[in-house]
Amino acid sequence: MKEKRQTIQKGLVWEAVTTATNHPNAEQIYENIVLKHPSISRATVYRNLNMLVDEGKVKRIRVLGGPDHFDRTLGNHYHIQCTACKQVSDIEVFDDIDLCAKNVETFGYVLESYEIVFNGICPDCQKKHAAQRQ
Amino acid sequence: MKEKRQTIQKGLVWEAVTTATNHPNAEQIYENIVLKHPSISRATVYRNLNMLVDEGKVKRIRVLGGPDHFDRTLGNHYHIQCTACKQVSDIEVFDDIDLCAKNVETFGYVLESYEIVFNGICPDCQKKHAAQRQ
DNA sequence: TCCTAAATGATATACAATCTCAATAGTCAT
DNA sequence: ATGACTATTGAGATTGTATATCATTTAGGA
């Protein structure tokens, strides 16, 4: 069991994520923190963001073809990214994806596309995994 | 209007994408072609894939945290990527996303997660765009 | 206060993808 | 078929995001 230490850097990353009104990416978080704490390293920001995500305190928003964005974890909701300014915003969740897509326009967005990626273990890998454990 | 030229490299990329049974990424397409045509460059493979996508002949499948995969464009369908082997496969489309998610298991996959990313133009960028055109 | 290992900062590295630019090779007009 | 024009190529440099490495620093318990 690893001992977890509270550092000022981790506190600064947490503060930057929770006080941000938008959903900043790692670089934006770094730029925010470096103003108050010039010695902080980008690597430390990435590391602490990963820790906070692992602890469930911060949610990672992966977007396609761009850097990850980060959000304090709240209820279930989807995100929308502006294809022009790359800003990420919240949208409400609906059960039906098409309903949800239409709803996007009620937020003032002009919807261009949406992508859904499922992740799972394929049958072959399930077999391999099972075989390895025998 | 740019003149489009038919090159053997473009033909080879097209052939590699359309004959592949899986959904290869650019590197896999390159490795396939380089066997028959050793002088081809990775840059040419990327360039031609982008051209084919722009022309609507090939579909780009973006996956989260990995290289893009490519598919000949057929009817509307989603994709699922194995989190272990990174292989991408087709799944049928259902209107309801949760139904679709459950359906994934009928393909033998153990579903771990799915992510939906919407893309559109935010209200601010719509205003900026409109302002620029005046 | 001292010890130990977790965390940091600086830098190197990985990886996908694009860009640069001189050389090559399609296509059109003749 | 020939030449001219320029789109395309190949090789390598470059970019952008993120992680790995490792000597140094520092949090926190004894």
Give nucleotides in strand C with any atom < 7 A to a protein C-beta.
5-12, 15-20, 25-28
DSSP A109: -
Tokens encoding A120: 């799972």
**A77 CA: distance to closest CA in chain B (Å):** 10
Q: What is the model's pTM?
A: 0.81
More confident site: B81 or A5: A5
The band of B134, judged by pLDDT with boundaries at 50, 70 and 90, is very low
Residue B118 reports pLDDT greater than 90 = no
- Best-predicted range by mean pLDDT among B35-44, B53-62, B79-88? B35-44
When pLDDT is averaged across residues B17-38 and rounded to a whole number, the result is 94
| Chain A interface includes B93 (CB < 8 A) | no
When pLDDT is averaged across residues A40-59 and rounded to a whole number, the result is 95
State the residue for tokens 């209820």: A75
More confident site: B87 or A22: A22
Residue A89 reports pLDDT greater than 50 = yes
Residue B38 reports pLDDT greater than 90 = yes
Q: Considering just the CA atoms, what is the radius of gyration of chain B in Å?
A: 18
Tokens encoding A18: 């929770």
Residue B19 reports pLDDT greater than 70 = yes
User: Please, what is the average pLDDT of chain B?
Assistant: 82
What's the CA dihedral at B40, B44, B50, B55 to 10 degrees? -80
User: Please, what is the average pLDDT of chain A?
Assistant: 82
Q: Give the separation between CA A54 and CA A111, rounded to whole angstroms.
A: 32
Domains of chain A as residue ranges with CATH: 8-107 (1.10.10.10)
Q: Is B31 helix (H, G, I), strand (E, B) or coil?
A: helix
Distance A69 CA to D16 C1' (A): 15
More confident site: A63 or A84: A63
Residue B132 reports pLDDT greater than 80 = no
Report pLDDT for A80: 75
Residue B114 reports pLDDT greater than 90 = no
Q: Over the stretch B45-80, which tens digit does the pLDDT of each residue have?
A: 999 999 999 999 998 888 877 899 998 876 666 777
The band of B92, judged by pLDDT with boundaries at 50, 70 and 90, is low
* Burial class (CB within 10 angstroms; exposed 0-12, middle 13-18, buried 19+) of B70: buried
**Closest nucleotide to the alpha carbon of A46, via C1':** D18
A123 and B109 within 8 Å at the Cβ level: the answer is yes
A116 and B115 within 8 Å at the Cβ level: the answer is yes
